[in-house]
Amino acid sequence: MSTVQSTESARDLSLSIAPRSPEGITLAESGARRLAKMSDAEGKPVLLRVAVDGGGCSGFQ
């Protein structure tokens, strides 16, 4: 994630790059169990799609 900030003059720009977070997400045990149960019921491997929508207090929901 990077942000570009400018001062009064367009010539004075600064770029800040945040450190990269580890890839992947962490699931609660109950969530992992529920996904495993769904996978068993459907007879298919577990696939999880995650989406981030704009909005909310911090800009994301």
DSSP string for residues in 13-52: EEEEEPPPPPSS----HHHHHHHHHHHHHHTS--------
pLDDT of 37 > 80? The answer is yes
Per the structure, the complete domain to which residue 46 belongs is given by 1-61
Higher pLDDT, 48 or 2: 48
Angle at the Cα of 6 from the Cα atoms of 55 and 22, rounded to 5 degrees? 55
Residue-wise pLDDT tens digits, 17-30? 777 777 778 889 99
Instruction: Tell me how many domains the chain contains.
Output: 1
Q: What is the pLDDT of residue 11?
A: 67
> Which residues lie across from 13 on neighbouring strands?
6
